[in-house]
Amino acid sequence: MHGLFVTGTDTGCGKTEISLGLMAAVQTTGAKVLGMKPVASGCVRGPDGLRNDDAVRLRAQGSSEAPYGLVNPYAFAPPIAPHIAAGEAGIEIRLPTIEQAYRALAGEADQVIVEGVGGWRVPLGPNLFVSDIPGALGLPVILVVGMKLGCINHALLTVESIQNTGGVLLGWVANQVDPTMLSRDANLATLAALIDAPCLGVLPWLEAPTPSELAGYLHPELTDLQPRHAAKLATIQTRTETRSETRTGKRRA
């Protein structure tokens, strides 16, 4: 199975746009790709149930029409932190449910682009965080840096957290979310000097970009980087599975 996990410096940094661009980039190679947003809040109820706009867009960009329940297993109506929304709904967000949905999608595609919710350390429950998902799925991480005032601090803290929590950082993408940002190039230079991972794309401020337009700003190197991390990812996934089994054993005891 191959894929990528897309996280961000914060909410609104452009994770969905970059995920759509990544999907379009994969599709130019002739490979089949599907998108996934395991957890989403701020969903709207319609005739088919709760739907999240980001998840709907990821599903529409897919090379085939995947069931919505696989693309977005956990959907919550209030536009609030997911662990709070889940608590109010009386639902426990569980990794096995996310893993099962991911495996189903991976069985129908060459790549699955998985978008996180909020930032890297957003809690999903008392003992579960967004940062636990890529390890469980065996996916490397791409960090989307929302280019605006304060982004250097947000980016460096997120990179440190990814490294300290066992994530495999494939690279980062700069996405200009503030059209009036001052000294953008100087900020980019600082980030490039301080982040120990390659910059895989720099996106300017774009009004309403299409996925194919976004793909044009991403480096082709992306598809070459993934296999290099295969052994490390396998080790991390084994450790994640072992921790999960240990926790399960403790509960049963």
Element (H, E) at 75: strand 74-75
Please enumerate in sequence order all residues whose Cβ is within 8 A of that of 123, keeping only pairs 6 or more positions apart, or say none. 81, 82, 83, 129
**Cα gap 181→61, rounded to integer Å:** 30
250 is catalytic: no
186, with CB counted inside 10 A (0-12, 13-18, 19+), is exposed
Residue of 112, 107, 170 lying closest to 144 (CA atoms): 170
From the list 7, 64, 14, the residue with the least C-alpha distance to 38 is 7
Q: Which amino acid makes up residue 40?
A: A
Candidate list 32, 37, 148, 250, residue with the active-site label: 37
Q: Which residue has the tokens 């495999």?
A: 168
Active site residues: 37
